[in-house]
Amino acid sequence: MSDLEAFRRETRAWLEENCPQSMRSPVMSDKDQCWGGRNWTFQSEDQRLWLERMAEKGWTAPDWPSEYGGGGLSREQVKVLRQEMARIRARPPLHSFGVWMIGPAILKFGSEELKRQHLPPIVRGEIRWCQGYSEPNAGSDLAGLQTRAEDKGDHFIVNGQKIWTSYADKADWMFCLVRTNPDVKKQLGISLVLFDMATPGVSTRPIKLISGSSPFCETFLENVRVEKNQVVGEVDQGWTIAKYLLTHEREMIGGFGRTAAGQKTLPQQAVEALGVEQGRLADGMLRGDIARWELDAKAFEFTAERVVDEAKAGQGVGNASAMLKYYGTELNKRRQELLMAIHGSDAMVWEGEAWNEGALARQWLRSKGNSIEGGTSEVQLNVIARNILGLR
């Protein structure tokens, strides 16, 4: 315990000295998030410094082994680091599909060569990754994907099309599910491969969403050469890794909509906008709706906590990620609808600096995708019914 307290003191002192003042406020827009990569333009010198200093300590991926550039911290130390960062409202130094998704998969399933090649640049924020999963005809039925990888001896030639690739137009490398064997059960002929987006034959086209932004792309793959050593795990065994990654993704998406440190909670915003009469929010019907949401939001927060505690204690039902993804995204959609109701016509404005360029409406529209991406709510309910309740 005293070791952990010493770590807390050191961490606090280090953060105090190294986290620039301007990095100690909540992320308000996409521009405040640092994604790194070859093409990244830092929003400010502070943003660059903050990433560089954290990466130097390996704290952009604090729980990864230090031999691959990570922080080498224990679970308890990572928790302390997060607490200390939250204490000074420090922003995450790096937003990264490398850290969140492909990194952990390479650590778990990848060869030593892949670990040495890919993990350190992820930690340093030098390479930005994107995920090539969905295809025009493989959405909920992801295992039905058709992008072909033909065996050419020492390499594969890949042909096909991916869709809903987050930030493909800004990414440097892709982790991509491809069909390496069309003659077996669909789940057994899939491999996970890695390639540079600058490889000849790779092209992207952004998709404009109802929110007006384009976080997703279509990605076209025409005779793209992929080296054999860039397969994660075994050839034809990619579905196992894909499911592992989907679990990560579901937990991540399920966590959207939690109020970040320093942000006003939904009830606080309601009180500010509508006022209080005799100790109660002035709009009685809206108050009831907000209370129903907050009861569920708290219950969900404790459930996420309990799932982690149970996993640590070696208990739990397993398959919790489907339930968390389903409930968390539906909850966030309710939250966004309530925010629209609380702010009324103010929330409907689409443009203008005084209106934060319609941020409220855009977030509300974007949240509709939460219960679609990473497996729809209906797919999550299928997973619960089949895998936990045994209904089929």
Partner 1 sequence: MTGLVLNDEQQMLKDAARRFMQERAPVSQLRKLRDERDETGFSRELWQEMVEMGFVGTLIDEEYGGSGFGYVGMGQVFEEVGRNLTASPLFATAVLGATLLRNTGSDAQKQALLPAIADGSMIMALAVDERARHAPHYVETRAEAQGDGFVISGRKVAVVDGHVADKLVVSARTAGEPGDADGLTLLLVDRAAAGVTVERTIMVDSRNAAVVTFDQVAVPKDAVLGKAGDGYAVLQQTLDVGNAMLAAELLGIAQEAFDRTVKYLHERKQFGVTIGSFQGLQHRAAHLFSEIELMKSVVLKALTALDQQDDSAAQLVSLAKAKASEVAELATNEGIQMHGGMGMTDEFDIGLFVKRARPMQQLFGDYRYHADRFAADRGY
Q: Which residues bind partner 1 (CB under 8 A)?
A: 267-268, 270-271, 276, 279-281, 287-288, 290-292, 294-296, 298-300, 302-303, 305-306, 308-310, 312-313, 315, 320, 323, 326-327, 378, 380-382, 384-386, 388-392
CB of 141 to partner 1, least distance (A): 15
CB of 337 to partner 1, least distance (A): 18
How far, in Å, CA of 327 to CA of 370, rounded? 11
CB of 359 to partner 1, least distance (A): 23
Contacts 24+ apart (CB under 8 A), 147-152: 147/176, 147/177, 147/178, 147/179, 147/221, 148/178, 148/179, 148/182, 149/178, 149/179, 149/180, 149/191, 149/193, 149/226, 151/180
77 or 380: CB nearest partner 1: 380
Maximum Cα–Cα distance across the chain: 77
C-alpha torsion 382→387→389→392, nearest 10: 60
215 or 328: CB nearest partner 1: 328
Joined together, the tokens standing for residue 9 give 């003191």
46 or 296: CB nearest partner 1: 296
CB of 383 to partner 1, least distance (A): 8
CB of 281 to partner 1, least distance (A): 4
Joined together, the tokens standing for residue 145 give 């994907």
Joined together, the tokens standing for residue 306 give 């309990």
5 or 222: CB nearest partner 1: 5
114 or 324: CB nearest partner 1: 324
How far, in Å, CA of 37 to CA of 22, rounded? 21
153 or 284: CB nearest partner 1: 284
CB of 139 to partner 1, least distance (A): 17
199 or 319: CB nearest partner 1: 319
CB of 192 to partner 1, least distance (A): 29
What secondary structure does DSSP assign to 67-118, as a single string?
GGTS----HHHHHHHHHHHHHTTPPPS---HIIIIIHHHHHHH--HHHHHHH
How far, in Å, CA of 335 to CA of 15, rounded? 33
Q: Is the dihedral of CA 324, 325, 330, 335 positive or negative?
A: positive
